[in-house]
């Protein structure tokens, strides 16, 4: 059996604290389908909580942080988290990106009681992908294929759903949370399945598997999202063809992963029939995002990114510059999910955790620039949305991303919304993105606002 917690990266064994409220997870990269017909997209004016996870009150929220409530998160000591399935073989088998290493059926749920289920056959999978340095890695995820026959034209569409922030602990993986009915994005995933489309959800590098999570590293996340599509088509029993129309969608961290998947696809995965990428709340310019959240309620997200980049690129040597407080915080954060770790960073800044201006160093700037999307146009059309009132991810850098893609020659539909803070933007604005992606998967041509 697997053991948790794993040793801290800097020599200290830090146990993840007990579950306290999964809305910390909902805090940035939120859950819930957005399919209401009236009022603001995705929100029923008669009942503003209809699209939110249980316990989330959208009605009185003035900021993302206002949406904190008591929900649960995956338990690191649970049988689901301790499943030996997540231990990659050593050495990794030979193969191509997207090849399935192993798979097993399981029953994902939308709530802890199992009242909400997915009308689909579901598998937990481990597949080959490529890390930020170009080396093979093992990634886990979930594949769901609706049990009802596909009634549309052509082959059943396949959507790769890029998750938002779950945390750094391996037990925070969506495939673990889905089995326990505790993944805060389950309702949105179910919306895809309910529409008859097949769904694949990557856990990303270092979630599920015991490696370090390369949070916000575009090259790693984009490859994991694309190779999840390949794995779904190669999974025995899924009966998904390589000619299935494919789409990618995600919000916040997931939005960043989605645009990177679109940007990488022509060269990295030309075999995939990618018809569209819908992404919202994208943290495209991490230097600008860092300026916005340093010293704020949301500093933990910045710490996550520093941890993720250090995990991906050995020359960055974060450990050498950590203060005593920084080492304590990073060890704690590395073993926890969003719920546990967001409070650790309230009001803190990089000056509290490192002894130098790391982000400004040439080494860090080079890797941040390397993972800044917008320079290379995806062949698939893009739908980008962002709220002017986003309190976590600055609006201006998202608007700049859309302009960069337009200048590069991409087909972009840019949607500026006024739906409020980051989390509310997810609930209010995702319906339009899902409708747009459905049209692309149905073969309708995309328009451009460039």
Does residue 5 have a cis bond before it (omega within 30 degrees)?
Answer: yes
Question: Residue written as tokens 């008591």?
Answer: 70
Per-residue H/E/C for 240-265? CCCCCCEEEEEECHHHHHHHHHHHHH
Residues 330-341 have a mean pLDDT of 91
Residue 315 to residue 212: CA distance in whole angstroms: 16
Structure tokens at 283: 């943290």
What's the number of domains the chain is made of?
Answer: 1
Instruction: Print the domain residue range for 416.
Output: 1-450
Per-residue pLDDT of 128-164, as tens digits, reads 999 999 999 999 999 999 999 999 999 999 999 999 9
Residue 434 to residue 296: CA distance in whole angstroms: 31
For residues 139 and 224, the answer to whether their CB atoms sit within 8 Å is yes
Mention every residue, 6+ apart, whose C-beta is less than 8 A from residue 318: 306, 307, 309, 310, 330, 354, 358
Residues 244-248 have a mean pLDDT of 97
Per-residue pLDDT of 16-47, as tens digits, reads 333 333 333 333 333 333 322 223 333 333 33
Per-residue pLDDT of 378-411, as tens digits, reads 999 999 999 999 999 999 999 999 999 999 999 9
> What pLDDT is recorded for position 41?
34
Does residue 407 have a cis bond before it (omega within 30 degrees)?
Answer: no
- Give me the count of residues in the chain: 450
Structure tokens at 94: 């030979």
Per-residue pLDDT of 174-199, as tens digits, reads 999 999 999 988 988 999 999 999 99
Sheet architecture: strand order including 158-162: 100-105, 120-130, 136-146, 198-202, 158-162, 246-251, 274-280, 382-387, 412-417
Q: What is the mean pLDDT of the chain?
A: 87
What is the domain-level CATH number for residue 129? 3.40.50.1820
């Amino acid at each position: 059996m697997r053991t948790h917690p794993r040793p801290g990266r800097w020599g200290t064994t830090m146990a993840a604290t007990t579950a306290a409220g999964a809305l910390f997870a909902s805090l940035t990269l939120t859950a819930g389908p957005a399919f209401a017909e009236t009022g603001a997209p995705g929100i029923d004016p008669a009942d503003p909580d209809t699209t939110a996870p249980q316990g989330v009150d959208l009605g009185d929220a003035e900021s993302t942080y206002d949406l904190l409530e008591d929900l649960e998160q995956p338990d690191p000591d649970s049988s689901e988290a301790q499943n030996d399935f997540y231990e990659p073989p050593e050495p990794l088998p030979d193969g191509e990106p997207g090849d399935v290493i192993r798979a097993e059926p399981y029953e994902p749920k939308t709530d802890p009681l199992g009242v909400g289920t997915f009308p689909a056959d579901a598998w937990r999978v481990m597949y080959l992908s490529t890390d930020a340095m170009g080396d093979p890695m093992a990634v886990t995820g979930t594949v769901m294929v609706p049990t009802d026959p596909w009634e549309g034209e052509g082959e059943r569409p396949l959507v790769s759903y890029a998750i938002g922030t779950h945390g750094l602990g391996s037990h925070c993986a969506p495939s673990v949370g889905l089995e326990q009915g505790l993944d805060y994005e389950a309702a949105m995933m179910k919306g895809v399945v309910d529409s008859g489309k097949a769904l694949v959800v990557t856990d990303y590098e270092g979630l599920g598997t015991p490696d370090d999570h390369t949070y916000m590293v575009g090259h790693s996340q984009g490859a994991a999202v694309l190779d999840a599509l390949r794995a779904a088509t190669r999974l025995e029993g899924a009966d998904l063809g390589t000619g299935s129309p494919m789409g990618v969608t995600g919000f916040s961290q997931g939005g960043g992963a989605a645009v990177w998947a679109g940007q990488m696809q022509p060269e990295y995965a030309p075999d995939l029939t990618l018809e569209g990428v819908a992404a919202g709340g994208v943290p495209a310019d991490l230097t600008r995002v860092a300026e916005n959240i340093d010293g704020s309620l949301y500093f933990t997200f910045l710490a996550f990114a520093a941890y993720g980049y250090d995990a991906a690129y050995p020359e960055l040597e974060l450990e050498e510059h950590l203060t005593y407080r920084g080492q304590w915080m990073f060890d704690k954060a590395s073993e926890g999910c969003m719920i546990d770790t967001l409070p650790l960073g309230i009001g803190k800044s990089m000056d509290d955790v490192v002894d130098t201006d790391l982000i400004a160093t040439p080494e860090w700037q080079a890797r941040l620039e390397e993972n800044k999307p917008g320079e290379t146009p995806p062949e698939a059309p893009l739908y980008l949305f962002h709220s002017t009132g986003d309190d976590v991810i600055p609006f201006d850098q998202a608007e700049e991303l859309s302009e960069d893609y337009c200048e590069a020659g991409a087909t972009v539909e840019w949607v500026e919304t006024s739906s409020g803070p980051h989390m509310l933007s997810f609930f209010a604005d995702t319906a339009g993105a899902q409708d747009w992606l459905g049209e692309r998967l149905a073969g309708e041509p995309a328009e451009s606002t460039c």
